[in-house]
């Protein structure tokens, strides 16, 4: 899984003909391409345990008599936050560094993360409760994505839970040019929690499960075989392996511990996050290609609301020739169904249309409008890219207007 935070966006613009309800006129199309920026803090000159100590000291280090431990703080019980290894000096020092960063230079960003969390926390809490999982996992999207469904890491991980495309497909999430369910909090959350639960069963430790979520279970298994093959599984191995873990994975648990501490008591640390709109909805069925502005018009709500409830719709419209479940605000389903039947098929899509000029290819046109080539092809399934005809009009899906 990738670890990044949404930030700056690039923009590409160009003239095009706007198609809406059969009427054409010229507009200046602006496409927003979300990017992400990684946040790190300087490494600490901390002592690193030799991984081989786990071979001999694993059971002893789990003893209540371990001298470096401090009593757990008064807080609701949580197996991750209350692990005695969360209070090991190696982990505690990095945790405090992240607390210092997020209450200092990163305070503005962290306030935004807390505000976003208010929109999705109840949804995530329900899935955590259903799986009888540690409640602190509700803070993992702060670390992963800053609680942004549109977050994309430099490695290509996407969504609140930062799924890579291969892992997403393995667990049953759709990843395509038009729909990417990694961005869908409703679909992605139980899948992410399922992956974490599976890692917990495999490694016998939430610390190792989280490390596997970040670095991959195969990599963690190889490190265990190489450095601690005979040691009993437990949170102590995360500390024992600290020096040989990938740099990002070393900070993964300290960041979660820091985010949990701040998010559980935001006022104590000077945060005053606003309350975001709750992610509440009802689902309706769209029978064919329909753009989000038409869905909004049928539901009698703003386009921004439809886009916020359906971040999985990458290009602002549902696929052709198939039924798609989309979300509308609570209580708007009946209005949508009533109004949608009155909209003709020709009026259900709003796209840009580009007239092919001499020498242009799909690649040229896709680059001009900031649209991936596979998206352009998906919107024009009957067009052969190698046989583009001069003067032919191509449908160019537009990007949704809202952003993080």
pLDDT tens digit string along 2-51? 444 333 333 333 334 444 443 333 222 333 334 444 677 776 654 455 55
The arithmetic mean of pLDDT across residues 297-324, rounded, is 93
Q: Are residues 145 and 255 in the same domain?
A: yes
Backbone angles phi, psi at 94, to 5 degrees: -70, -35
Q: Does some domain include residue 80?
A: yes
Q: What pLDDT was estimated at residue 63?
A: 41
Q: Are residues 265 and 155 in the same domain?
A: yes
Contact 7, 35 (CB under 8 A): yes
Range with the largest mean pLDDT of 240-254, 337-351, 381-395: 240-254
Last residue of a domain, one of 331, 348, 365: 348
Q: Which residue has the higher pLDDT, 3 or 205?
A: 205
Q: What pLDDT was estimated at residue 286?
A: 96
Q: Are residues 89 and 129 in the same domain?
A: yes
Q: Are residues 245 and 206 in the same domain?
A: yes
> Going by C-beta distance under 8 Å and a sequence separation of 6 or more, which residues neighbour residue 362?
373, 376, 377, 385, 388
Q: Does some domain include residue 17?
A: no
* Residue 92 burial (10 A CB sphere; 0-12, 13-18, 19+): middle
Q: Does some domain include residue 203?
A: yes
Instruction: Tell me the C-alpha distance between 282 and 326, whole Å.
Output: 8
- How many domains does the structure of the chain reveal? 2
The arithmetic mean of pLDDT across residues 204-225, rounded, is 97
Q: Does some domain include residue 265?
A: yes
Instruction: Tell me the C-alpha distance between 296 and 305, whole Å.
Output: 8
Which residue, 203, 266, 250, 202, is CA-closest to 88? Answer: 250
Last residue of a domain, one of 250, 269, 288: 269
Last residue of a domain, one of 332, 348, 364: 348
Q: What pLDDT was estimated at residue 311?
A: 97
Helix (H) or strand (E) holding 89: helix 89-102
Q: Does some domain include residue 146?
A: yes
Q: What is the CATH number of the domain that holds 129?
A: 1.10.530.10
* Residue 378 burial (10 A CB sphere; 0-12, 13-18, 19+): middle
The arithmetic mean of pLDDT across residues 312-337, rounded, is 93
Q: Are residues 247 and 122 in the same domain?
A: yes
Residue 108 has pLDDT above 60, yes or no: yes
Q: Which residue has the higher pLDDT, 355 or 262?
A: 262
Chain centroid to Cα 207, Å, comes to 21
Q: What pLDDT was estimated at residue 44?
A: 60
Q: Does some domain include residue 388?
A: no
Q: What pLDDT was estimated at residue 61?
A: 45
Q: Across-strand partners of 328?
A: 282
Quick check: pTM over 0.85? no
Q: Across-strand partners of 326?
A: 284
User: 265-289 pLDDT, tens per residue?
Assistant: 999 999 999 999 999 999 999 999 8
Q: Are residues 230 and 151 in the same domain?
A: yes
| Domain interval for residue 153 | 53-269
Q: Does some domain include residue 46?
A: no
User: 145-199 pLDDT, tens per residue?
Assistant: 999 999 999 999 999 999 999 999 999 999 998 899 999 999 999 999 999 999 9
Q: What pLDDT was estimated at residue 59?
A: 42
Q: Across-strand partners of 96?
A: none
Q: What pLDDT was estimated at residue 58?
A: 44
Q: Are residues 239 and 296 in the same domain?
A: no
Q: Are residues 212 and 298 in the same domain?
A: no
Q: Are residues 322 and 215 in the same domain?
A: no
Q: Does some domain include residue 362?
A: no
Q: Are residues 57 and 159 in the same domain?
A: yes
Give the count of beta carbons closer than 10 Å to the beta carbon of residue 269.
15
Q: What pLDDT was estimated at residue 15?
A: 38
Q: Are residues 100 and 229 in the same domain?
A: yes
The arithmetic mean of pLDDT across residues 243-252, rounded, is 94
Helices (H) and strands (E) in the chain, counts: 16, 6
Q: Are residues 338 and 222 in the same domain?
A: no
Instruction: Tell me the C-alpha distance between 357 and 177, whole Å.
Output: 25
């Amino acid at each position: 899984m990738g670890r990044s935070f949404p930030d700056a966006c690039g923009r590409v613009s160009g003239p095009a003909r706007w198609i809406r309800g059969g009427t054409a006129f010229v507009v200046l199309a602006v496409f927003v391409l979300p990017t992400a920026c990684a946040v790190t803090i300087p490494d600490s000159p901390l002592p690193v345990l030799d991984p081989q100590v786990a071979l001999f000291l694993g059971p002893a280090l789990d003893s209540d008599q371990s001298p470096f431990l401090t009593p757990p703080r008064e807080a609701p019980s949580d197996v991750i936050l209350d692990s005695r290894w969360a209070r090991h000096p190696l982990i505690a020092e990095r945790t405090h560094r992240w607390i210092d960063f997020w209450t200092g230079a990163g305070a503005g960003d962290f306030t935004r993360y807390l505000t976003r969390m208010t929109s999705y926390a109840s949804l995530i809490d329900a899935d955590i409760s259903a799986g009888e999982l540690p409640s602190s996992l509700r803070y993992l999207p702060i670390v992963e994505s800053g609680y942004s469904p549109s977050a994309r890491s430099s490695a290509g991980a996407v969504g609140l839970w930062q799924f890579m495309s291969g892992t997403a497909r393995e667990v049953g999430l759709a990843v395509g040019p038009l729909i990417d369910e990694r961005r869908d909090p409703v679909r992605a959350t139980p899948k992410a929690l399922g992956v974490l639960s599976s890692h917990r069963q495999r490694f016998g430790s939430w610390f190792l499960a989280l490390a596997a979520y970040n670095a991959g279970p195969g990599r963690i298994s190889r490190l265990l075989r190489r450095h601690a093959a005979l040691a009993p599984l437990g949170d102590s191995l995360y500390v024992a392996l600290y020096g040989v873990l990938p740099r990002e994975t070393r900070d993964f648990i300290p960041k979660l511990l820091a985010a949990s501490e701040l998010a559980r008591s935001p006022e104590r640390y000077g945060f005053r996050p606003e309350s975001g709109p709750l992610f509440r909805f009802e689902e309706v069925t769209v029978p064919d290609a329909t753009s989000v502005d038409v869905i909004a018009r049928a539901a009698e709500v703003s386009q921004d609301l439809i886009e916020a409830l359906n971040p999985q719709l990458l290009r602002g419209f549902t696929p052709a020739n198939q039924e798609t479940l989309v979300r509308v605000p609570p209580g708007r389903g009946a209005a949508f169904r009533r109004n949608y039947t009155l909209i003709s098929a020709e009026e259900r899509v709003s796209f840009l249309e580009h007239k092919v000029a001499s020498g242009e290819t799909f690649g040229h046109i896709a680059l001009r409008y900031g649209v991936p080539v596979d998206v352009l092809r998906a919107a024009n399934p009957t067009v052969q890219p190698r046989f583009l005809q001069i003067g032919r009009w191509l449908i160019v899906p537009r990007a949704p207007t809202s952003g993080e």
